[in-house]
Every structure is written in structure tokens, then in C-alpha cells.
Amino acid sequence: MNAAPKKPHLPKEDIKVIIRPKDGFNTAGYSVAQIGDCILRATGLKPEEVVKDSIRINERQNIVVVSTPVLERADKYCAMKDFRMGDRTYEVTAYMTAPEDTSKGIIRGIPDYDTPEDIEKSLVNERNPGILHAKRMGRTNHAIIVFQGTYVPRYVYYRSCEYRCVLYKKQYETCYACGGLGHRSDVCPQPQVKRCRGCGSAEPTADHRCEPKCLLCSRDHPTGDRKCKARFKTPYLVKKRQWERKPQENASSERRTENEKRVDDTAAASSGPRARSKSTSRTGNTPMQKEGGQAGSGHPGLFEVSWADTVSGGRAKVEAAPSNANTETNKELAQIKQMLMQLTKDNAKLRDEINALKEENARLKSAGKVTTHVAQIAEVTGEIIESGEEETVPTKRRAIEVDPDCSEKRTHRPESKTKRLQEELELRMEEDKKGLEKKMEDMFGQMTKLMQQQFATMQQQIQQQLGTMQARVGELEAKLSMAVSLPTRGSQASSCGPIKTTAKPYSRPAVTETTEIAGKP
């Protein structure tokens, strides 16, 4: 059986109004159009006025949800006290819900004598800038607070007093009338059906045997009891954070799996020489050598991103360079660290094996001495028995003589084998060490080569700039020499502008010159 398709989301900007019908009204027994017409008649609104409004029925909770973009119409919906369906009038309770971009918190221990206005004034003030609304939860001393945004602070101020604030967790609605889940008893569609809240038996008698079983956690207590740990719903904020965190966790788990796989490959490559046959190790071939002739740890493509590009910042010159090259470099460094750690562990294991072989060698040596001593005792015993045969019964068998040379050869066999294994292990460790040293030398060689190239390029650029500056200085000197030589050429002096002289610019002319101009003798 296919499930019904999920209903579309209501507009986020709209105001949502919850209408809770009472007196046994069953929303599942009527169509949405019938219930909508009853609401319009009760509010006095016309169909052409509510074209942009949306009316939806929640049959599980037995409520009606109205979404409207206009505050005036939302106030009219909230002012409803009852509506008429057929020949019967049903009492209703309507209220506006908090906007979608808000969050809820709870404080406990407010005074019992505070009115709703006192609670509103005590919380909605300058000390609590993020609070939009606050009200008491039923008849308890708890207050539910609506915050702007998705952040719930840990503490709020209630008339200058600090109160611990926790995230609001909605409970699963349990009906005390019919014992069902999803709605409360005030909106129960079947209030005439009586069921035991503990065991769920219909029309229970006063003396019936009740074995309570919770419908939420299946434990031996009434459904929705205070001690039930499953009665709280997961807040939407927590679900949203889990949804946002899930892709990141998946990505991190994939990276972790990738790194573990690379470490396993490194460990397998580093432990590969120990798994090879003795004939292979005697040939002198390096088991950790790559196909290209370069020693490595068995990790393919570990140095595909060169250290030269990392140091010089020349990644922009490569056409296929990724934007997250720094991240890849960090990954490569982490892989190298993991390789070094793995090699260190392998070296420690090899040291332990060598120590164990040394102990075994010492034990075998001591055992060889004991065997030789036993052989000598057996030889002496044989001589005694042989000498005694001449005097006693000749039918007794002679003791078996043990050849000291044979016993000594047998004693030296495990010793030579242990020595050979020790030499092979030392040879492999030396090869691993040489391979690692070669890697480091290659890396530092690449870095040194790149730095030398950079220095050469910088030196060439500096020389070019110096040549350009020298040419410019030569041009300036030539112009300056021309400017200095122009006043001495006579007729060309007028074309080079003012020239500095030693005479004062405003000195009076000589007397002779003045008389000549005036025409006096």
C-alpha cells in the first residue's frame, strides 16, 4: 500500500493560526471545504477576501491550521469562540503560533501571583533583546519564551533576576479520554469512548485488573507518564543541526576511511619484506622499491603534488592545479607523518623480534651446554658399564655412546639459524632506513633545486631592472648635458627658457644708459 504524498509546506512568511474544536468535533468526518465555510461564517470574512489564505486539517491531532499573510485576518481567526456545523454549535479555541524563524525556551520557578502582563513585562525588555513573547504554561510555574532566531540563551533576566533557560521540548500528546496518541482530551473526537489509560482496555470496570503498558516505550507505566523518558519529541532545532551535521560527518568518515586504507596499504607494504621467502631476501633485491626505481612505502601517488609547488607558490602556473591545494598539501604531510609513525612501529617490532631471537639464542646455547654435559655423563657411564661387564654377567647391553662432535653440531644448528635470521632482519631494517633516507634526500633535493631556480629567476629580473634603470639614467644625463650647453650657443638661447644669472633681477640700469635713452648730451 502506497503512502499518501507529503503535503506542501505553508508559506514561511504567513501567520499560522491553530483552531482546536471541542465538544467531540471530528475533523475526519467532514471535508476541508465544509470546515472552511464554517470558519468563514464564524469570522464574518468573505471568500474573495481570503483568496491568499490556506486552510489545512490535521486529522491526527484533530485540529485546523489556517495560514494567512494579513495580520487583521489572523486576529479575526483568533477571536473565534465557536462555529456551527449543521444544527450543532461547537466550541473552539484559536491562537497564533510562533513564526518559523524563532525558537522556544523554558524557565522554571516564576511566582504564582504574576499575571500574564507581569510575565510579559518581566521578560520582554532591554535586558533580553532576543525575546519576542512569553507566557505561562497552563497552571504551572513555568514560562515558555519565544526567541528571535535559532539561538536559545542559557540565562535570561526575569525582573533583574537570572533564570536558567533550557530548550523547549514538546511532548507527545496523549488523550486521557480514549487513550490514543496524537491529540489531547480537550479535542478528542470520541469523548464518549472510555479506555483505561494504563492497559488500554475499553469500558474498564472499577475492579478490573490493570497491567499498564506505555505505547511510547513499552514499559510498565501509563502512556505519557512523567517518568517516561520517551514522551519528549526531538526539537526541530536539534533535528536541523543533525541534518546539517550529517553531510559533514559522512565526508569526515569517508576521509577517515580513506586515511585508514592508506595506512593499511602502508603497513602492508612495510611488512611485505618479512612475508617473503628466504631466497628472495638473499638475492639483495629491495622489496620496498617501486616500479620506477624509486624507494617508497607502497603508497601510490604519494608525491604527485611536488614540494616545489608547495614552497614556491607556483601552483597558479599549472593549468590543472586545484583550488584547494593547501588542503591537499596538508593531507600529503599527514600521510608522510603516518608513514613515519608506521615505520617507527615496524622498527620497534623488529627490535622486539631481535631481542626475542637473542634470548632464544642464549637459551639454545645453554641447552647445548647441558646436552654436551649429558653426553659426557653418558660416556663415563658407558665406560663404567663396560668395565663392569667383564666382572659380572656378559649378557647385559652396553650403554650407547654419544659422539660429542655430533651433539656439538646439533647444538650449533639453531644458533646458526638464529644468527642468519638476525642478519636478514638487520639487512631489511637497513634497507628500509636507506629507502626513507633516499625519499628525504629526493624531497630536499627538489626543494633546493626549485629554490635555486627561483633565485636565478629573481637575479635575472633584478639584472634586467638594473639595466633598464642604467639606460634611463644615461638618457637623463644626456638631456641634462644638452640643457647645460644650450645657453652658450647664442641664437638658441631663447628657446630654452629662463636661465639663472648672478645679477639681481630687479637692479636699476646704469646712468649712461638712462641718459642715452632720454636724449641728453
Q: What is the pLDDT of residues 459-512, one digit of tens each?
A: 888 888 888 888 888 888 888 888 777 654 444 444 444 545 554 544 455 544
Q: What is the Cα gyration radius of the chain?
A: 50
Q: Is 423 helix (H, G, I), strand (E, B) or coil?
A: helix
Topology alike, domains 15-96 and 102-168: yes
Contact 415, 365 (CB under 8 A): yes
pTM of the complete model beyond 0.85:
no
Q: 15-96 — its CATH code?
A: 3.30.70
The residue ranges of DSSP E strands in 109-141, in sequence order, are 131-136
Residue % of the chain over a pLDDT of 90: 19
Say whether pLDDT at 408 is over 70: no
What's the chain's average pLDDT?
Answer: 73
Contact 476, 332 (CB under 8 A): no
Q: Could you give the CA distance from residue 37 to residue 30 in angstroms, rounded to a whole number?
A: 11
Confidence of residue 317 (pLDDT cuts 50, 70, 90): very low
Neighbours of 393 (CB within 10 A): 7
- Region 113-142 average pLDDT: 92
Of 351, 345, 348, 335, nearest in space to 439 by CA:
335
Contact 261, 253 (CB under 8 A): no
Intra-chain end-to-end CA distance of the chain, in Å: 139
Say whether pLDDT at 268 is over 70: no
pLDDT of residue 301: 42
Domain ranges of the chain: 15-96, 102-168, 321-459
Sheet holding 88-96, edge to edge: 54-58, 63-68, 15-21, 88-96, 82-85
pLDDT tens per residue, range 137-152: 888 999 999 998 888 9
**DSSP code at position 187:** G
Of 70, 51, 61, 47, nearest in space to 19 by CA:
61
Say whether pLDDT at 381 is over 80: no
CATH topology classification for 102-168: Alpha-Beta Plaits (3.30.70)
